[in-house]
């Protein structure tokens, strides 16, 4: 997942249409009594995510800003709060609630005066693969090639923060990299850069959207893979492509319905997938994972991908959104901003990490939820 993170996810995948988010981010002070469900959340579930973010914040230069949001202040402010948090020993939910209420003030985020936005979901994919080409394992997933150059445009211009391009240097000039079609049709110069082989080209396509996965190897071992780079071409929604072809309707399109169509139409599947020119390269991940844009392992149900050009990593966020399952109560939980994604654009926009497994895939695939959120900012001393 340090993908830039191409968790382009359900919104891009199924061509859903979020509410306009062109307006400026606006913060309105609130109280914890204003947060729906605040007193019911089991805050012990936030400990892994918040601990990882705090540990990372503690290592950053104290006088530098936490991120692009001026109201978030400097790392020094957060380091003081994190130091107190990290000193807590096995805190209960109520003790954590008291901690956040003591040290933070909630601020509702709006796009102009609009508090509601779109929240989607993503998950860690499951694949079957092999380190060598054999039997059913004929679809390559490539490691990052040495000549891929990825440029963070925000390093050069403030107004381009959160945007990037990628390509190959040719005679001193940065030129576009090969498209997805070129790469999967082995019409590029790095066919030897295979990380592993998988048994399903559709699974290979979807793991590039999710940005990470767990690969089941012959003999029962597993290998976790994560984002290592992207070819620089924009992502195109194959859900939109199938709608335009009349293969699916806007009402019925979802991650699951797209998978079903691709499986039922193998003769057209490759051409449809190649209408998306983006291609993601992977690396082996050892230890905990998947890894988000913040550089820490993500926590199911508690890690949130945000618009990195607007909000900092490591910030606690109170999320209230429709649950993807109609049978479930609305989502009302504390989360930590730890990731980003190509489709996550706008002040009120987020992507919920659901974890690994069939249930996580089902929730992520269905999630196109209206919601709103509040940022928790340290109180002024």
Q: For residue range 89-121, what is the model confidence (pLDDT) as tens digits?
A: 999 999 999 999 999 999 999 999 999 999 999
pLDDT band at 366 (very low <50, low <70, confident <90, very high): confident
Q: Which pLDDT value is given to residue 20?
A: 43
Q: Which pLDDT value is given to residue 162?
A: 66
Mean pLDDT value across residues 153-167: 81
Q: Where are the domains of the chain?
A: 9-119+298-352+368-378, 124-285
Q: Which pLDDT value is given to residue 204?
A: 95
Q: Which pLDDT value is given to residue 29?
A: 97
Distance CA 14, CA 236 (A): 10
CATH 3.90.550.10 fits 124-285, yes or no: no
Q: Identify which of 102, 354, 44 has the alpha carbon closest to the alpha carbon of residue 212.
A: 354
Q: What is the pLDDT of residues 136-151, one digit of tens each?
A: 999 999 999 999 999 9
Burial, 111: exposed, middle or buried (Cβ in 10 Å; 0-12, 13-18, 19+)?
A: buried
Q: What pTM does this model have? A: 0.80
CATH topology of domain 9-119+298-352+368-378: Barwin-like endoglucanases (2.40.40)
Residues 6+ apart with CB under 8 A from 17: none
* Angle (CA) 345 349 354, round 5°: 115
pLDDT band at 22 (very low <50, low <70, confident <90, very high): low
Q: What is the pLDDT of residues 210-248, one digit of tens each?
A: 888 999 999 999 999 998 999 999 888 899 999 999 999
């Amino acid at each position: 997942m340090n993908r830039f993170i191409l968790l382009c996810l359900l919104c891009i995948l199924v061509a859903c249409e979020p509410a306009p988010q062109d307006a400026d981010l606006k913060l309105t002070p609130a109280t914890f009594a204003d947060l729906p469900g605040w007193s019911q959340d089991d805050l012990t579930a936030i400990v892994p995510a918040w601990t990882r973010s705090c540990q990372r914040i503690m290592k950053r230069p104290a006088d530098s800003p936490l991120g692009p949001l001026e109201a978030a202040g400097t790392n020094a402010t957060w380091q003081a709060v994190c130091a107190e948090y990290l000193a807590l020993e096995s805190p209960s939910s109520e003790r954590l609630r008291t901690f956040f209420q003591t040290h933070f003030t909630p601020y509702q985020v709006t796009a102009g005066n609009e508090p509601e936005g779109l929240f989607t979901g993503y998950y860690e994919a499951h694949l079957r693969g092999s380190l060598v080409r054999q039997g059913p394992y004929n679809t390559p997933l490539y490691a990052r090639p040495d000549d891929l150059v990825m440029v963070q445009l925000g390093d050069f211009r403030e107004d381009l923060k959160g945007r990037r391009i990628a390509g190959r240097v040719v005679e001193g000039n940065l030129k576009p990299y090969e498209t997805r079609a070129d790469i999967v049709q082995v019409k590029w110069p790095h066919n030897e850069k295979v990380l592993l082989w998988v048994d399903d080209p559709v699974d290979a396509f979807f793991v590039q959207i999710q940005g990470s996965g767990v690969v089941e190897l012959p003999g029962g071992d597993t290998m976790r893979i994560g984002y290592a780079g992207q070819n620089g071409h924009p992502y195109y929604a194959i859900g939109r492509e199938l709608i335009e072809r009349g293969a699916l309707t806007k009402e019925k399109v979802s991650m699951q319905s797209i998978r079903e169509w691709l499986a039922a139409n193998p003769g057209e599947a490759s051409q449809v997938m190649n209408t998306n020119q983006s291609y993601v390269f992977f690396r082996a991940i050892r230890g905990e994972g998947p890894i988000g844009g913040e550089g820490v392992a993500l926590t199911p149900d508690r890690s949130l991908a945000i618009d990195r050009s607007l909000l900092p990593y490591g910030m606690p966020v109170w999320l209230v959104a429709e649950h993807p399952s109609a049978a479930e109560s609305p989502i009302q939980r504390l989360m930590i901003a730890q990731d980003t994604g190509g489709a996550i654009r706008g002040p009120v926009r987020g992507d919920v990490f659901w974890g690994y497994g069939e249930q996580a895939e089902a929730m992520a695939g269905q999630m196109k939820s209206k919601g709103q959120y509040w940022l928790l900012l340290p109180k002024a001393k």
